[in-house]
Amino acid sequence: MGKLTIGSFSSLVGSLSLDFAIKLSEAAIQKGHKVDLWVSGNATMLSKKGQKAFKDYSALAKKVQELVASGNLQVTACEACAEARGYHKEDTMEGVKRFSMDWYLASTFTADRVLHIGGD
């Protein structure tokens, strides 16, 4: 069993990068691996609670919660990036953590592989 760390700066809506990150996380978990997912910049919105699913937009909340509940996916949002977007601790999806950017670097330290998706 390995550990995959994925970091993303990409939007929840407007790019499909986070959809890819979640599908990759699920595939890795199904193969018996652990995944750390760091969401920073616009990607922090992935970790906000209260998302409503529309068929015209990416809707990842349900899948994220399922994977987090499995104990094999840890989602962590950049605290400063979230606060800058008016998204506060009480708005965070259950099971998701919030830390500063050094948490991500620490996660890469123990990762077997790192996939970083920068930009939008």
Partner 1 sequence: MATKKLGFVIRTLPYKIEGSRLAMTHAISSQTVEIYLADGDLVEPVVCFIGDGVLNCLKSQQAMKNYGLTSLEQHIKNSLLLDLNVLICKEDVDKFGIKEEALIMDAEDIGGETKAKIVPYSEIQKAMESVDHLLFC
Interacting stretch for partner 1, rule CB under 8 A, among 47-55, 66-74, 86-94, 109-117?
109-117
- In whole angstroms, give the CA distance from residue 57 to residue 60: 9
Q: Is residue 86 within the footprint of partner 1 (CB under 8 A)?
A: no
- Measured from the Cβ of residue 106, the count of other Cβ atoms closer than 10 Å reads 13
Residue 81, CA distances (Å) to 52, 69, 88, 107 in order: 21, 24, 10, 18
In whole angstroms, give the CA distance from residue 111 to residue 84.
28
Q: Does 14 bind partner 1 (CB under 8 A)?
A: no
Candidates 21-29, 34-42, 47-55, 58-66 — which segment interacts with partner 1 by CB under 8 A? 34-42
Smaller CB distance to partner 1: residue 25 or 40? 40
| Cα end-to-end distance, the chain, whole Å | 31
The answer to the question of residue 7 lying near partner 1 (CB under 8 A) is yes
Cβ nearer to partner 1, comparing 2 with 53:
2
**Nearest C-alpha neighbor of 36 from the set 8, 9, 66:** 8
Q: Is 59 in the site for partner 1 (CB under 8 A)?
A: no
Q: Provide the binding-site residues for partner 1, judged by CB under 8 A.
A: 7, 9, 40-42, 81, 100-106, 108-109, 111, 113-114, 116, 118-120
